Amino acid sequence: MAASGGTRAIVAALLANAGIAIAKFIGWLITGSSSMLAEAVHSVADTSNQGLLLLGGRTARRAATAVHPFGYGRDRYFYSFVVALLLFTLGSVFALYEGIHKLESHEPLTSPIVAVVILVVAIGLETFSFRTAIVESRPLKGDGTWWQFIRQAKVPELPVVLLEDLGALVGLILALFGVGLTVLTGDAVWDAIGTICIGVLLGVIAIILIIEMKSLLIGEGAAPQVLSDIVSALESGDVQRVIHIKTQYLGPEEMLVAAKIALAPGLPLEGVASEIDAAEARVRERVPDARIIYLEPDLDRAALTG
């Protein structure tokens, strides 16, 4: 569900951004608006980003090899990190440069009504893309806030598309604000200010994504509630307690679980093996993402000496 939902959101964003980018470039050629040019480059960056997300989803499905025995699930994190870098360089830095340049040159706009029409249509298309991302993300979000979803989600594509679409919508409103005030006042400085605001907005979003994707790339463990479920599933039958446990996501839907478990004293070898198999089955039933499980049997020496 997460993978298919992410793909639908990515495809919707890709199609919307590709069409919007063409329209914005046409608008920039006609009007000379720096806000329109910044938004056009932003849309090109977003379109490229969606292509990279689709590529990451495809390469992550490769089978494990001797060199990468745990598979390629983190490819999705890597490409999402590259997306954040592209959003910062192509989107934010270019918009800031163009806005400062326009602020210094005071170049007037021509046929600004064309820019207004294109921006209004683009807002409609981006709203559709943003709504698709929200619909696909809501089942994974659960009862938490959207900010918690962005911070805690292990599926990278949906938070990336959500923030990109949000940035695109707000950026379009800022561009409309800049062009509109330029038309009303006759002063092109407002178009430049709108462009600079777009650059700052994209920079903030890119930095948030860079921080989150870096954390996933390094390796995140299970959330407290998920970890509690794993421990609860392990501590049953002849497993007296979990001595210690470590978890790490190898991909959005694949978790590694390694734990030392205290078994009841006196179990024969066959009983130890049977209890480990049963414990693994209980964990996978409770937490399906726990696909790779290593359990080390031991005795509860603290209880024995106590």
Task: Choose between 287 and 101: higher pLDDT.
Answer: 287
Tell me the per-residue pLDDT of 212-269, one tens digit each, with 9 for 90 and over.
999 999 989 998 999 999 999 999 888 999 999 999 999 888 999 999 999 988 889 9
Tell me the per-residue pLDDT of 150-207, one tens digit each, with 9 for 90 and over.
888 888 888 888 888 888 889 889 988 888 888 888 888 888 898 899 889 989 998 9
What is the rounded average pLDDT of the residues 41-49? 83
Tell me the per-residue pLDDT of 161-176, one tens digit each, with 9 for 90 and over.
888 888 888 988 998 8
- Contact yes or no for 150/84 (Cβ under 8 A): no
- Reference 122, options 2, 204, 220, 36; nearest CA is 36
The SS3 call for residue 299 is coil
The SS3 call for residue 184 is helix
Pairing of strands 290-298, 254-263: parallel
Q: Is the pTM of this model over 0.85?
A: no
pLDDT at 1: 40
- Contact yes or no for 126/16 (Cβ under 8 A): yes
- Reference 157, options 24, 268, 5; nearest CA is 5
What is the rounded average pLDDT of the residues 83-93? 83
Tell me the per-residue pLDDT of 102-150, one tens digit each, with 9 for 90 and over.
888 777 777 778 888 888 888 888 888 888 888 888 888 888 888 888 8
**Average pLDDT of the chain, as a whole number:** 86
Spacing of C-alpha 130 from chain mean position: 14
- Reference 38, options 48, 28, 47; nearest CA is 28
Tell me the C-alpha distance between 279 and 238, whole Å. Answer: 9
- Contact yes or no for 195/102 (Cβ under 8 A): yes
Tell me the C-alpha distance between 198 and 32, whole Å. Answer: 17
Cα–Cα distances in Å, from 170 out to 95, 148, 188, 263?
Answer: 14, 21, 20, 57
Residues β-bridged to residue 246: 258
